Structure formats: structure tokens, C-alpha cells
């Protein structure tokens, strides 16, 4: 057995242990947060996740940044590269095949909040971001300054940029949106939504866009379904659901429809009449893959987030409506990156 195989076996055992502990203690790992008395817990939003993309003018630059942060992000054109065959790829094609992972070294991503957010809510959100840190070497820690990850709770649903792309976002704009999350949002939504968005920030794309799962979806039915449930037009459905990931850009486990990164899709839009189950929490395969991409062996564990006394939830008034335009204008593009 090779060293890589041994590492995978150990990580899988760790992931299975994590999964069993989660099932025994509940999704929050035994932590309990007080909710405001007299207020019924409600889902934050019925929206699905949108994986945000950068303006076209930044695509090549983002790939250069990703490769500078982590050289392993550079695309490897499969078996041909192993045989020494060089494929002529233009800069845009290279950019589209470039991964956005942060690299194997221990890393802390700082987190800030764009609106006034109670301390207990901030801590709860950061705790769920750190659910990936059980098997990976990346952690999230709140900062009083401008974070690498900037969270808004304004309108626009749930979304995040992918991995190192957050470095290309102007610092006054969010890199992640958690519409209307409060202390009264159910714990199940914290597990399903925040851990999913954290996965995007770690560089993990949507699992349902793996070629094998996309092939199961009937496009016409998908257009009607997402128009009715999300208000998405055809172009958005194509981008977010029906365009499979390029096999050459994937460094991952086999397709897993119970991954936290996979949408729950109904049987009514699949060709075989069977639903794509979707994930509601980080599963064993997710944990194993995070540990392979971000190995933590030999590094001290870092923990972010802090528990503070429960504060009364402040009335939330969105203040960042101008932040949700996909293109903020070239004049605001960050000039100094890294």
C-alpha cells in the first residue's frame, strides 16, 4: 500500500468517526445556542445556492492568482500530460480549467460581517464555517477588520464565490451571502446552508454539476422547475445546474449525491424518475476529500470563533443592496492581491 493510499484510509476512518459522532450528538456537535423567546424558528430563506462567478475581465487574472496561491491549482490535461504530450491551451481555456483551492499549508481565513450582527450570531456562523476544519487544515476566524471572507445577510439568497476568487472581490463587497439568517434560523439550516457555502469558499464546486449527475436531469423540466422555485432564467439554470464540470478540472472523489455540495433535486426533473438526494450536512466522503485537499497531519490544529453571551437579536435592515450586482466596474477591481 502506498503512502497516499494509507493517508486516504486513515482519513476515511476519521471521516466515519466524525459522521458517527455527529449523528450521536446532533449536527452542532453538542453546542447549544439560545433562541429568542417567543419567536418560532423559521428557515432563513427558501432560496437555493448560487455559485457566484467573476466578471469576464477577471477570469484569467483570477486563475493567475489561484496558481500563485497554490501551484497545484494549475490544470493537468489528464493522461496526455502523463505521456509528455503538451496541449496548446489559450489563457482563457487554462483559466477555466484552473482549480481554486487554497493549498495544503495550515491557513486561517479571516471573517468579517458587513452589517451590524450580534456577537452570538457571528460566533454561531463561524462555528459552522469551521465544521470543515475537523479533517482539514483550513479554519475560519473572526476579525474586527476586513476579512478574507465577508458575510452579508442581505437580500439575494445564499451564495459564495469559489475559493481563491474571493481575493478578486472589492473589500467593501461581500464574498458570501446568508439571506436573513438569525439566531432563530433552525440548526438544520445552519448545517445545510452555511457548511455548503463554506465548502465553496474552500474551493469545492457544486457536486450536482458532475457529468454523471447532470446527465440525469431533463433540461426542459429543469428550466420550468427553477423558474418556478428560484426565479432563475434559462441562462442561470444552464450555468448553475446543467453545465457539467470539466473532467480535467476535477480532483475529487466519485460523484456523491449525498454530498453537502449537492443540490436536492426532485424526481420530477430527472430522466430516470429518481430524485437526486442532495446533502444536508457534511458527510464522510466530504470530510475525507477536505482532508485530502487540505491535509492537517503535522500541523497544529487551529480553532476559530468564540462563544459569547446571548444578546437580543437586533432588527435586521439590509444595507448592502448595491453589492449584489455581478459586475462592480473595473475601477473597483482590487489592485494589490495576495
Instruction: Read off the pLDDT of residues 6-56 as tens digits, 9 standing for 90 and up.
Output: 555 554 555 455 445 434 444 444 455 554 444 444 444 445 687 788 888
List the domains of the chain with CATH numbers: 3-25+42-75+93-295 (3.40.390.10)
> How large is the greatest C-alpha to C-alpha distance in the chain, in angstroms?
67
Higher pLDDT, 144 or 308: 144
- pLDDT (tens digit per residue) in 102-146: 988 899 999 999 999 999 999 999 999 999 999 999 999 999 999
Q: For position 320, what pLDDT does the model report?
A: 32
Average pLDDT over residues 75-91: 52
Q: Which of 211, 208, 210 is nearest to 196 (CA)?
A: 208
In whole numbers, what is the pLDDT of the chain averaged over residues?
A: 77
Write out pLDDT tens, residues 166-218. 999 999 999 999 999 999 999 999 999 999 999 999 999 877 677 888 899 99
Which residues sit opposite 139 in a β-bridge?
Answer: 108
Q: What is the pLDDT averaged over residues 137-160?
A: 96
The larger pLDDT score, comparing residue 272 to residue 251, is at 272
Identify the weakest region by mean pLDDT among 84-88, 133-137, 155-159.
Answer: 84-88
Residue position matching grid coordinates 473595473: 330
Cβ contacts of 226 within 8 Å, gap of 6 or more: 48, 232, 236, 237, 240, 241
Of residues 334 and 199, more confidently modeled: 199
pLDDT at 85 over 90: no
Pairwise CA distance, residues 137 & 216, whole Å? 34
Measured distance CA(273)–CA(290) in Å, rounded: 31
Q: Write down the pLDDT at residue 21.
A: 41
Give the pairing type, strands 49-52 and 158-161. Answer: parallel
Amino acid at each position: 500500500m502506498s503512502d497516499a493510499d494509507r493517508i486516504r484510509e486513515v482519513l476515511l476512518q476519521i471521516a466515519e468517526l466524525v459522521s458517527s459522532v455527529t449523528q450521536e450528538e446532533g449536527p452542532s456537535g453538542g453546542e447549544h445556542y439560545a433562541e429568542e423567546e417567543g419567536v418560532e424558528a423559521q428557515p432563513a430563506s427558501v432560496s437555493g445556492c448560487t455559485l457566484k462567478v467573476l466578471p469576464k475581465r477577471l477570469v484569467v487574472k483570477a486563475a493567475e492568482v489561484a496558481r500563485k496561491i497554490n501551484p497545484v491549482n494549475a490544470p493537468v490535461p489528464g493522461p496526455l500530460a502523463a505521456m509528455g504530450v503538451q496541449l496548446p491551451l489559450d489563457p482563457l481555456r487554462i483559466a477555466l480549467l484552473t482549480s481554486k483551492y487554497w493549498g495544503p499549508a495550515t491557513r486561517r481565513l479571516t471573517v468579517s460581517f458587513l452589517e451590524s450582527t450580534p456577537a452570538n450570531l457571528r460566533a454561531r456562523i463561524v462555528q459552522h464555517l469551521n465544521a470543515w476544519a475537523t479533517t482539514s487544515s483550513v479554519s475560519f476566524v473572526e476579525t474586527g477588520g476586513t476579512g478574507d471572507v465577508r458575510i452579508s445577510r442581505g437580500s439575494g439568497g445564499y451564495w459564495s464565490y469559489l475559493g481563491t476568487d474571493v481575493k478578486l472581490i472589492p473589500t467593501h463587497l461581500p464574498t458570501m451571502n446568508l439571506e436573513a439568517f438569525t439566531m432563530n434560523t433552525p440548526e438544520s439550516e445552519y448545517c445545510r446552508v452555511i457548511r455548503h457555502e463554506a465548502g465553496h469558499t474552500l474551493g469545492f464546486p457544486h457536486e450536482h454539476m458532475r457529468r454523471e449527475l447532470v446527465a440525469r436531469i431533463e433540461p426542459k423540466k429543469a428550466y420550468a422547475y427553477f423558474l418556478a422555485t428560484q426565479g432563475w432564467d434559462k441562462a442561470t439554470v444552464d450555468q448553475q445546474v446543467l453545465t457539467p464540470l470539466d473532467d480535467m478540472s476535477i480532483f475529487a472523489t466519485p460523484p456523491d449525491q449525498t454530498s453537502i455540495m449537492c443540490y436536492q433535486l426532485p424526481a420530477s426533473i430527472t430522466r430516470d424518475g429518481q430524485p437526486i438526494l442532495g446533502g444536508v450536512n457534511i458527510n464522510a466522503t466530504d470530510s475525507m476529500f477536505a482532508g485530502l485537499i487540505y491535509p492537517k497531519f503535522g500541523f497544529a490544529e487551529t480553532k476559530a470563533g468564540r462563544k459569547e453571551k446571548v444578546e437580543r437579536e437586533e432588527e435586521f435592515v439590509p444595507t448592502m443592496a448595491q453589492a449584489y450586482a455581478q459586475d462592480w466596474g473595473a475601477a473597483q477591481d482590487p489592485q494589490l492581491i495576495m
